[in-house]
Amino acid sequence: QVQLVESGGGLVQPGGSLRLSCAASGSIFSIPDMGWYRQAPGKERELVAAISSGLVANYADSVKGRFTISRDNAKKTVTLQMNSLKPEDTAVYYCSARIFTGSGRATDYWGQGTQVTVSS
């Protein structure tokens, strides 16, 4: 059984920083892609940032230059460093990973979500 466990999040003032972390565990053969999505109230879930096992990252235009995604392949973790946070960054943030298990098929897994609130 595969699990994604997130940590971090919370309340921060505009201009502040937060760090989100996510660790994958279970019967894992490889993790080609890991990423972070977010969903604000009344809006659809959107991709924030993603990173491949080769450490190629891509970002939503709205977070470029402010957020940095990184991963540790050995530890099966992905981290999102969020700087210069804005009120519009307020959302529930979800870790996601495409994982190959022993079955040879890739499945997308999701974390439980962590709230990020940017407010003065």
Calculate what percentage of the chain has a pLDDT beyond 70. Answer: 100
Q: In the chain, helix, strand, coil percent, each to 5?
A: 5, 55, 40
Structure tokens at 107: 């499945």
What's the mean per-residue pLDDT of the chain?
96
Neighbours of 8 (CB within 10 A): 16
Structure-token match 């943030």, residue found? 93
Q: Write out pLDDT tens, residues 55-101.
A: 999 999 999 999 999 999 999 999 999 999 999 999 999 999 999 98
> How many Å separate Cα 34 from the centre of its chain?
7
- Whether the predicted pLDDT of 103 surpasses 90: no
